[in-house]
Chain A
Amino acid sequence: MFDTAMDVPPVNGPMTTTRFSVRVGERTLSADVHIPSMPAPDTPPLLALHGISRRASVMAKAFASHCEAKGQVLITPRFSRKQWPHFQRIGSYRPDRSLLAILALVEQMGVANTNKVDLFGYSGGAQLAHRFAMLYPQRVASLHIAAAGWYCLPDFTQPFPMGLAPAEKPLKMNVPALAHNQLRNYLELKLRVYIGAEDQHRDDALRKGHAIDNVQGRHRLARARHYCRAFRAAAEARGITPNLSLTELPNCLHSFADCAKAGLTKLVCEA
């Protein structure tokens, strides 16, 4: 693994930005770390994961003013298309290990305490965010997942990757068993789910199929609602009162920019 850090132009206002790169195995991951003018040392950094369009800089700009106001360090990784065609999955690819390495490097460089982060993901980034949190719940202060195309349910009737029952095909990495051991800690997390109220289209990027449509719903809005029900049921079955909310953003389609305009980034930072 080689790690680097270099200054890059700031995204917005008084924040300063440094780009960190880590190499884990054969893949490199870069992340821009945006430091507010007056960092609040007790505030966990916000780790924001882009979707499949990989517009990390757009996400950084949308969060910048809120993070600056809060004194919150903002970390925006960018998974390259070439090296990370399926960055949202944990298994054959290990985006989790690269994210951990980024967090370790940010801490080692003295930028922020990354023991815990507020973890946000949009669309494909939301898929990665909740899967990461299922494996490392202790690293997550609060989990914010917006407009995920589909979810890994805390449900042992559904085979992995849709649920936590054993996968139908042998896995190189037994993610469902690992997540199973962390499930209680995961269900105790503060979870905020966001979805555009108009995100009801079956676009090309949406995963479709008989099984997923029947279980999770035919579009992202239905799937977000289903996930919240499943999360609540799994928590309550274990005697946990879930710290969970679902926010449906009015007039929003499947667009991060629209959701941000409708207050998504402010909601995340003020949660």
Chain B
Amino acid sequence: MENHHFKGAKWCFATRRIDQSLAHGLHQDFAQAQPGDLILGRVTSIGNHQRIQLPAGRPSTLYPGDLVVLPCGARYAPDQFEGLAEIDEKGSDMLAGGGCLGRMVHRNERIKPPTRIQPLGRITSKDGVVLNTSDFALPERTRPAQIPVICVVGTAMNSGKTTATAALAHGLTKAGWHVAVLKGTGTGAFGDYNSFVDAGASFVADFTDAGMVTTYLEPIPRIVAGIDTLLGESESLGCDIAVMELADGIFQRETAALLADASVRDRFSKYLFACADPVAAAGGVAELGRNGIRPIALTGMLSCSPMAVEEAQTATGVQVLTRRQLLDPAYANTLAARAGIERARHAA
């Protein structure tokens, strides 16, 4: 096949680093599909995802018959799907709006079945090599020595991590810092990415920039190498501080493994913990404590309720910061100070 077959295809956001002009042919051996392999497919039925996120940062409505390019990938999303990075030639599942084609294994009862995609082939270059997101990653970097990192974790999806991350990034920017906002784990999507760009961050990147369409079921050393690449890139671009969100909850497979690893924890200067209520705050702080982590502040949905704030602070002894406070340069700056930003600058 020649590359005119790709004309008009909707490439998903997770392919944003790909040089589309390299797409030349198709390989139909789907049994060999690896996470990150680019799959050309045709939409056969519209399900949960009615739109696809484009690299330009806008969603595009999907219609049956549309050609799409999605990387093969797994998905962990308790409020949507769990899926594996497997391509079935008879039909595959669109597991995320930003990308990810695979096989759904679990579905949240409240949502529709996935949008179905008929895979047409793994996209190859002119020399027949299957294109993979990892081929277009940032150059791998060793662990950076200096940049302070505030790590944002939470109880689950939708606990307020991204809101807190964007707010803190904005507050730090207002205080005059050059801020990198990073996602260390999760599934590629433009919602978080765009909100970090909107917050005024000097540099925004996620695991996709380190070559992974999703971190779910990826080997931990690969994820750690990806985190180092993102932090190293941030430092080389002159960022003073990084705010890194780890997706999902602290019990999620990869997030839990990262937080349990002392060498990974060494990369993070301080932690913010996002949660929805005081019980979650108490449980989360206790759970983090098993790994020797004491967050510098609690935030998230919890912070919307003054009564919940008081209960959480009493139960945990950890201050609660609202979104408004994280947006405030004076508050954000104090978190930067506690993360050792001046020490890092002097040492650099």
**Which of B177, B330, B334 is packed against the most chain A CB atoms within 10 Å?**
B330
**Separation in Å of the A232 CB from the closest CB of chain B?**
20
Asked if A100 contacts B337 (CB within 8 A), the reply is: no
CB-defined contacts of B330 to chain A, threshold 8 Å: 90, 96-97, 135-136, 173, 175, 178
Helix, strand, loop or mixed for chain B's interface?
Answer: helix
Q: Which of A115, A178, A184, A188 contacts B176 (CB 8 A)?
A: A115
B328 contacts which chain A residues (CB < 8 A)? 97
Q: How far is the CA of A135 from the CA of B176 in the complex (A)?
A: 12
Given contacts A103-B176, A181-B337, contact A136 B342 (CB under 8 A): no
Is A182 a contact partner of B333 (Cβ separation < 8 A)?
Answer: yes
Flag if B333 contacts A136 (CB, 8 Å).
yes
Within 8 A of A (CB), among B141-184: 174-177
Determine the distance from Cα of A254 to Cα of B64 in the docked complex, in whole angstroms.
Answer: 80
Q: Please provide the chain B residues from 300 to 348 with a CB less than 8 Å away from any CB of chain A in the complex.
A: 328-331, 333-334, 337-338, 341-342, 345
- Residue of B329, B338, B345 near A136 (CB, 8 A) is B329
Q: Is A185 an interface residue (CB 8 A)?
A: yes
**A104 interface residue, CB < 8 Å from B?**
yes
CB distance from B177 to the nearest CB of A (A): 8
Q: A100 touching B334 by the CB < 8 A rule?
A: no
How far is B174's CA from A101's CA once the two chains are assembled, in angstroms?
8
Is A138 on the interface with B (CB-CB < 8 A)? yes
Residue pair A185, B337 in contact (C-beta under 8 Å)? yes
Which residue of B is nearest A101, CB measured?
B174
A139 on interface, CB distance cutoff 8 Å = yes
Report yes or no: A136 in contact with B176, Cβ–Cβ below 8 A. Answer: yes
Of A104, A181, A188, most buried by chain B (CB within 10 Å of CB) is A181
Chain A, range 126-165, C-beta contacts under 8 Å to B: 135-139
Cβ–Cβ contact A185 & B342, under 8 A: yes
- CB-defined contacts of B177 to chain A, threshold 8 Å: 138
A97 to B337, CA, bound (A): 18
A173 to B331, alpha carbons, bound, how many Å?
Answer: 9
The reply to whether B329 and A138 contact each other, CB–CB distance below 8 Å, is: no
A137 to B174, CA, bound (A): 14
Cα distance, A78 to B183, chains bound together (Å): 42
Give Cα A177 to B321, complex, Å.
13
Bound-state Cα–Cα, A143 to B86, Å: 62
Q: In chain A between 10 and 45, which residues have their CB closer than 8 angstroms to a CB of chain B? A: none
Residues of A within 8 A of B337 (CB): 181-182, 185
A100 touching B342, Cβ below 8 Å: no
- Closest B-chain residue to A96, C-beta based? B330
Q: Is the CB of A100 within 8 A of B331?
A: no
Other 4 A-B pairs with CB < 8 A, given A114-B176, A136-B333, A178-B330: A100-B175, A138-B333, A184-B342, A185-B342
B residues within 8 Å of A by Cβ? 174-177, 328-331, 333-334, 337-338, 341-342, 345
**Interface positions of A (Cβ within 8 A of B):** 90, 96-97, 100-101, 103-104, 114-115, 135-139, 173, 175, 177-178, 181-182, 184-185, 188
Nearest first, the 7 closest Cβ-Cβ pairs linking A and B are: A181-B334, A181-B337, A178-B334, A185-B342, A135-B330, A182-B337, A178-B330
